[in-house]
A and B are shown apart, each in its own frame.
Chain A
């Protein structure tokens, strides 16, 4: 029996993916559940298993293809019986045995495949034979169906100029009600007024008039990052505070510890310690560990501490989230960050692993720079940026001393956080980082 394997939904709202790798070939025999393709979605590379086993008759995709949910991936000749199995050369056998009263192909069944399950014996009642038939998934993506809305709702949408395909339905099975249409209109108006649905940018000039150019398509990850950054920038009134942490003692301790740990996994880096320092600050200033519900007029305080750490890879920017940092030791966090970063570099991070953060840290110190103004990772309200630490001459207690100073930048949402609190929060982080004992006690 032929089975058309087509792409099922990959995740909420994800309609498309790029084919990175095809893991099987025509002629291969695969097991049910075996991974057959690798797809890149917005933020992750996902392996997709085929639910049926059998011989691969045709592979419909190649690396580089863009596929939508519903697209054909493979055609397989399964081992299941009840059909003309030896004549599998005919790809025209596209349908499952027709649901009908009469036993469809009993004579064929007798000769072929002894391991095939025999069809249920025909009963006295006729169409009761095949009462429930689920058709095998179709090869092509189905035609777009009309949006699910009754005539009255459709009329309302027409009058208001609303495209029903854009409206999410609150009714059963996603049915769109008149209320949904009105809510959509309200939302669009509000968004337009808040500038989110901003006017389209002026058209680009033809750059080639000034010199040679080359066009490259944006990858899925870059596209998603661009959208996220634009949205966060438009929505959040950003302020950035700058400060510097004296990490002389911390560095000394950290280096000693590194020597004693040797090559054990979980290198304790400045980032790891910064996570703990940030956590201490978040505990002291809970409004930094919250999200703003502007429409509802509420601040949502989170009672958990999940800190995202930005990882720069050749494929783009990823922010895996460390969960419950208050319950993990420094070493635990060090090991986890290492693993997440490695998976990020291999693009094996799951989408879920990048969701649910309450605060974000981005460390560019490894590369260099003196300070920068990171963009708040909406819907969080603050983000900590770290730049390169360096030896500086600092006046301490009337004496000039050489200390290692690490510049830190804190961007925050000024709708939620005022300057004074911003300064306090950042000062707290610096204080904790400047005293290893305090770090131990508070984090």
Chain B
């Protein structure tokens, strides 16, 4: 039992994920007295422990397996790989441990106190601390602070329809535990989480089926960027059902029976396992926020202003709990803004380009204005595309299905948005983000030398095409 003792600190950071620890470290650098309260056994939040990191490690393996099959075309033939799931799991867990202990070390070096407990707000300046199991010796029951940053993140959404209390119905956390490689897997939800995890399991040998409610995979992304991915996934997955819905799940001994409706989807089929990846919910419930002036909107996001301050002047909120997009890098940028604001500086979150990356194969990445948004907002834009079929590097990789597109303001020639699909899109997009953020114009991109032969040249050539012609792509004059 924790003693009835209140510890004091300057800045309390509730949640030790990419938003939380970035905020804590930045605040410590600025000389504040900082305490992180995190309910997990390791710092790093969902991203490090149950999200970004393990999924990327496993996707790396998936890519390797897939490529080893394709290389037969190039004169290098591999036998079917022997997959040791336990070793794979151990390797993945090893990565998590390594990175988590890295964050721990950084916290120690910066004199950031870390309390492993569940925080609940008692009032605007105090959280009560609940420990799992035996509380450590001398552990405080309360933490009082001058200011707090709420960085509690989000959890996988699990609608009531799918809560049938069977371990074979998983969310992303369960999927990443990699307990087993199911023979058949149904992925409910064709967003980035479902597609990434589906890709991973398919590469490891599962027969994967995806069912998506809307008319396309990755809703929200431009269709021309999704098309090459969809085509390739059609070869990898057993089936992709769009405009389709899961009506019911039933527990059976031989598997989970799934009842679907919609174009082409099987009315009833049994799967070894089901992955529910229909979104994420912000973690704003059961935090005691009612004891503060913090307000939460109807979707569960904490209401904040441009400085990430909530309605309570002592409390800031960042990351997934504070709004879309739910991305780790958005959280870490917000962390800096909130800390600077808390220290009295005139900081604002005013980034114009937040990249989104889908780590499937091919990767899909975009930033800034999408073509879909431009149409919806009726903005006058000029879109230029460069197909990777015309890229020398892409041909050497035997991956010519990719596409690079730039979205410009025709008047000022400014880059408003960038979209890329193809291997490495996730790294390539960085140039696009910088271009949009720096308000670069087409000339800036077109006249900058890009190394040859690289995929980055596709960005340069797209910009050149804005003016009419790109070197490696002929456009008949209209």
Q: Is A137 an interface residue (CB 8 A)?
A: yes
List, in ascending order, chain B residues with CB within 8 A of A296's CB. Answer: none
Q: Is A369 an interface residue (CB 8 A)?
A: no
Q: Is the CB of B382 within 8 A of A134?
A: yes
List, in ascending order, chain B residues with CB within 8 A of A150's CB. Answer: 437-439
Q: Is the CB of B224 within 8 A of A127?
A: yes
Shortest CB-to-CB span from B62 to chain A, Å, is: 26
Distance of A146 Cα from B412 Cα, bound (Å): 13
Q: Is the CB of A146 within 8 A of B441?
A: no
Q: Is the CB of B387 within 8 A of A126?
A: yes
Q: Is B207 an interface residue (CB 8 A)?
A: no
Q: Is the CB of B412 within 8 A of A135?
A: no
Give B405's nearest chain A residue, CB to CB.
A127
Among B379, B409, B473, the most chain A Cβ lie within 10 Å of the Cβ of B379
Q: Is B389 an interface residue (CB 8 A)?
A: yes
| Contacts of B376-402 to chain A: CB distance below 8 A | 377-385, 387, 389-390
Q: Is A175 an interface residue (CB 8 A)?
A: yes
Q: Is the CB of A131 within 8 A of B378?
A: no
Q: Is the CB of B465 within 8 A of A132?
A: yes
Q: Is the CB of A158 within 8 A of B347?
A: yes
List, in ascending order, chain B residues with CB within 8 A of A154's CB. Answer: 350
Give B415's nearest chain A residue, CB to CB.
A173
| Contacts of B318-377 to chain A: CB distance below 8 A | 346-348, 350-352, 374-375, 377
List, in ascending order, chain A residues with CB within 8 A of B444's CB. Answer: 172
Q: Is the CB of A138 within 8 A of B465?
A: no
List, in ascending order, chain A residues with CB within 8 A of B390's CB. Answer: 125, 128
Give A149's nearest chain B residue, CB to CB.
B439
Known: A158-B347, A158-B348. A140 touches B387 (CB 8 A): no
Q: Is the CB of A131 within 8 A of B375?
A: no
Q: Is B272 an interface residue (CB 8 A)?
A: no
Q: Is the CB of B475 within 8 A of A131?
A: yes
Partner of A125, one of B389, B438, B439: B389
Q: Is the CB of A128 within 8 A of B473?
A: yes
Q: Is B94 an interface residue (CB 8 A)?
A: no
Q: Is B276 an interface residue (CB 8 A)?
A: no
List, in ascending order, chain B residues with CB within 8 A of A174's CB. Answer: 412, 414
Partner of A173, one of B350, B374, B384, B414: B414
Shortest CB-to-CB span from A209 to chain B, Å, is: 41
Q: Is A11 an interface residue (CB 8 A)?
A: no
Distance of A151 Cα from B354 Cα, bound (Å): 13
Known: A148-B439, A172-B441. A142 touches B380 (CB 8 A): yes
Q: 1/0 per position for B458-477, CB-CB distance to A under 8 A?
A: 00000001000000010110
Known: A149-B439, A151-B437, A173-B439. A139 touches B378 (CB 8 A): yes
Partner of B351, one of A94, A101, A151, A175: A151
Distance of A367 Cα from B350 Cα, bound (Å): 59
Q: Is B443 an interface residue (CB 8 A)?
A: yes
Q: Is the CB of B380 within 8 A of A137?
A: yes
Q: Is A99 an interface residue (CB 8 A)?
A: yes
List, in ascending order, chain B residues with CB within 8 A of A130's CB. Answer: 385
Distance of A154 Cα from B438 Cα, bound (Å): 10
Distance of A139 Cα from B389 Cα, bound (Å): 36
Distance of A173 Cα from B444 Cα, bound (Å): 10
Q: Is A111 an interface residue (CB 8 A)?
A: no
Give A154's nearest chain B residue, CB to CB.
B350
List, in ascending order, chain B residues with CB within 8 A of A332's CB. Answer: none
Distance of A131 Cα from B414 Cα, bound (Å): 18
Q: Is A143 an interface residue (CB 8 A)?
A: yes
Distance of A171 Cα from B438 Cα, bound (Å): 11
Q: Is A400 an interface residue (CB 8 A)?
A: no
Q: Is the CB of B441 within 8 A of A173?
A: yes
Q: Is B196 an interface residue (CB 8 A)?
A: no
| Contacts of A85-126 to chain B: CB distance below 8 A | 94-95, 98-101, 120, 125-126
List, in ascending order, chain A residues with CB within 8 A of B475's CB. Answer: 128, 131-132
Distance of A131 Cα from B473 Cα, bound (Å): 10
List, in ascending order, chain A residues with CB within 8 A of B223's CB. Answer: 98, 100
Distance of A161 Cα from B223 Cα, bound (Å): 41
Give B434's nearest chain A residue, CB to CB.
A150
Shortest CB-to-CB span from A355 to chain B, Å, is: 23
Q: Is the CB of B387 within 8 A of A143?
A: no
Q: Is the CB of B414 within 8 A of A140?
A: no
Known: A158-B348, A159-B346. A128 touches B378 (CB 8 A): no
Q: Is the CB of B380 within 8 A of A173?
A: no
Distance of A149 Cα from B443 Cα, bound (Å): 16
Among A127, A139, A148, A149, the most chain B Cβ lie within 10 Å of the Cβ of A127
Distance of A143 Cα from B412 Cα, bound (Å): 16
Partner of B382, one of A120, A132, A173: A132
List, in ascending order, chain A residues with CB within 8 A of B227's CB. Answer: 101
Distance of A148 Cα from B409 Cα, bound (Å): 11
List, in ascending order, chain A residues with CB within 8 A of B409's CB. Answer: 145, 173
List, in ascending order, chain B residues with CB within 8 A of A95's CB. Answer: 375
Give A177's nearest chain B residue, CB to CB.
B439
| Contacts of B436-455 to chain A: CB distance below 8 A | 437-441, 443-444
Q: Is B413 an interface residue (CB 8 A)?
A: yes
Known: A142-B380, A151-B351. A99 touches B439 (CB 8 A): no
| Contacts of A37-72 to chain B: CB distance below 8 A | none
Q: Is B410 an interface residue (CB 8 A)?
A: yes
| Contacts of B185-236 to chain A: CB distance below 8 A | 223-224, 227
Shortest CB-to-CB span from A56 to chain B, Å, is: 20
Distance of A149 Cα from B387 Cα, bound (Å): 30
Q: Is the CB of B443 within 8 A of A143?
A: no
Q: Is the CB of A128 within 8 A of B412?
A: no
10 contacts between A and B (CB under 8 A): A99-B385, A101-B227, A120-B476, A127-B403, A131-B384, A138-B377, A143-B377, A148-B414, A151-B437, A173-B414
Known: A95-B375, A175-B441. 16 other contacts (CB 8 A): A120-B476, A127-B385, A127-B387, A128-B473, A139-B378, A145-B416, A151-B350, A154-B350, A158-B346, A158-B348, A173-B409, A173-B413, A173-B441, A174-B414, A175-B440, A176-B439
Taking Cβ atoms with an 8 Å cutoff, the residues of A that contact B are: 94-95, 98-101, 120, 125-128, 130-135, 137-140, 142-143, 145-146, 148-151, 154, 158-159, 161, 171-176
4 A-B pairs with least C-beta separation: A138-B378, A148-B439, A173-B412, A173-B441
